[in-house]
């Protein structure tokens, strides 16, 4: 499903050069739930961004669903992200001016769909995270856990085959965190969605199929 070969990522500024990722090789199978752990600054987000085509590796090769996406142009990556990838972030990244319903529809705006189709798909997604009674609310009217559920609905609304979650429970208390974790587990089991999740929580990591540890840009 996902293959990374010899991925390196260097950040250069005028004064220093940081090696964020050092020769990463990774294979993730279809339907697999992989968690990534490691101390702060070890390169977890960088790795996830590279898999999500939000960032380019300095060198190395990425294959997703049999396609060498590391050679893609920006327009192709945009289309690929839109169709195959869903993102969940630690700080939710909801647009405050938009209602829950409109936030969830965001990925669908970049597809050729009618308003009716978008409403329908968004309703289904919101229902699966248990928020169909909050559709007209605005993000500021929701709790942290609810916000993250909106973000999950947004990630799954386009039916992507891969979900990338960067510390999705990092801003939540343990009750809400577990709620989110259960939704992700259910997604993985029922829809066979491939999930890669960065976490700081050992318990959550142990509920996934496989754990990868990073330290200072290297795999342990």
Partner 1 sequence: MLRHIIKLIWNNKKNNFLLFVEMFVSFIILCAVSSFMYFNLQKISQPLGFETTDRLSILLDDLYSKDSLLVADMMTQLDIQLKQEPEIEEVSYTNGPFPFSGNQWTTSTENNGIPNHTLTCETTEDYHSTMDISLKEGRWFRKPLTNEDKDEVVVNQAFIDKNLGGKYTLDSFINIGEEKKLVGIVETYKYNGEFVPNDPTVISYIPKTDRNIMNVVLKMKPGTSIAFQEKLIKIITDVTKSTSFVINNLDDERKKSSHDTWVILSVLLACSVFLFINVAMGLFGVLWYNINKRRSEISLRKAMGATNINIITQFLTEIGGLALLAVIFGLIFAIQVPLFKIIDVDSQIMYTGIGFSVIFVLGLVLVCAFYPAWKGAQIHPATGLKEE
Ligand X SMILES: Nc1ncnc2c1ncn2[C@@H]1O[C@H](COP(=O)(O)OP(=O)(O)O)[C@@H](O)[C@H]1O
Q: From 44-52, 89-97, 109-117, 179-187, give the range in contact with ligand X by CB under 6 A.
A: 44-52
Residues forming beta bridges with residue 36, ordered by sequence position: 198, 212
Partner touching 87 among Mg ion, partner 1, ligand X, none, CB below 5 to 8 Å by kind: partner 1
Cα–Cα distances in Å, from 24 out to 32, 47, 165? 18, 9, 19
Cα–Cα distances in Å, from 42 out to 7, 20, 59, 113? 14, 7, 18, 40
Partner touching 209 among Mg ion, partner 1, ligand X, none, CB below 5 to 8 Å by kind: none
Residue 45 interacting with Mg ion (CB under 5 A): yes
Residue 91 interacting with ligand X (CB under 6 A): no
Residue 18 interacting with ligand X (CB under 6 A): yes
Locate 207 and state its tokens. Answer: 């509920």
Shortest Å, Cβ 43 to Mg ion: 9
Show the DSSP H helices in 85-219 as ranges: 100-104, 106-109, 115-128, 144-156, 174-191, 202-206
Nearer to partner 1, 55 or 179 (CB): 55
Residue 52 interacting with ligand X (CB under 6 A): no
Locate 54 and state its tokens. Answer: 């939000």
Residue 41 interacting with ligand X (CB under 6 A): yes
Locate 187 and state its tokens. Answer: 């997604």
The residues of the shown chain that bind ligand X, judged by CB under 6 A, are 11, 18, 20, 38, 40-46
């Amino acid at each position: 499903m996902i293959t990374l070969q010899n991925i390196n990522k260097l950040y250069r500024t005028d004064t220093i050069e940081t090696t964020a990722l050092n020769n990463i090789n990774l294979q993730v199978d279809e339907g697999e739930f992989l968690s990534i752990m490691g101390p702060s600054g070890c390169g977890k987000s960088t790795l996830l961004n590279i898999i999500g085509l939000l960032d380019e590796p300095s060198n190395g090769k990425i294959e997703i669903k049999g396609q060498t996406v590391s050679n893609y142009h920006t327009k192709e990556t945009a289309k690929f992200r839109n169709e195959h990838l869903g993102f969940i972030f630690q700080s939710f990244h909801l647009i405050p001016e938009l209602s829950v319903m409109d936030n969830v529809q965001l990925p669908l705006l970049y597809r050729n769909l009618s308003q009716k189709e978008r409403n329908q798909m968004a309703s289904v997604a919101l229902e699966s995270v248990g928020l169909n009674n909050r559709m007209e609310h605005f993000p500021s009217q929701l709790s942290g856990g609810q916000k993250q559920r909106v973000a999950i609905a947004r990630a799954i609304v386009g039916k992507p085959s891969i979900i990338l979650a960067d510390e999705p429970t990092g801003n939540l208390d343990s009750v809400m965190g577990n709620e989110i974790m259960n939704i992700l587990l259910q997604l993985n089991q029922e829809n066979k969605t491939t999930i890669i999740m960065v976490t700081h929580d050992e318990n959550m990591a142990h509920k996934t199929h496989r754990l990868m540890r990073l330290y200072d840009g290297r795999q342990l």
